[in-house]
Structure 1
Amino acid sequence: MSTSEARAAQKQAELLALRKQLDEAQRRVAQKEASGATEAFQRLVVAYQSLLQNQAGNM
């Protein structure tokens, strides 16, 4: 393997490692966003239940 081929192989390995890091970071962000959406939905459900209870109490 020539020096230029070795450099190219090294660069390719570095790019692959960076791509794996990027994929992992994107996966973590997606998990956090999904978790945040779930929490927001749960708060919405609680608020809606509270509203229904208040309306039932006012009847």
Structure 2
Amino acid sequence: MLWNALLADGLVDELHLMVSPTTLGAEIRAFTAAANLRLFECRRFDDSANLQLRDIVRR
């Protein structure tokens, strides 16, 4: 995934991820290496089980 290369090169300051509780049945990893992230904000939308996670990349 594109953001793995961008994170590795230090080109990302912040990530916005939409997380759904739906199970895909396969182990699909969002990150290929450890990412040093700090959760900045977590937002839930009305009438939805999805969460928007806003993470700051620590350097």
Band of TM-score, shorter chain? under 0.3
State the TM-score, normalizing by the size of structure 2.
0.17
Flag the structure with higher helix content.
1
State the TM-score, normalizing by the size of structure 1.
0.17
Structure with the bigger RCO (C-alpha within 8 Å, sep 6+) is 2
Flag the structure with higher strand content.
2
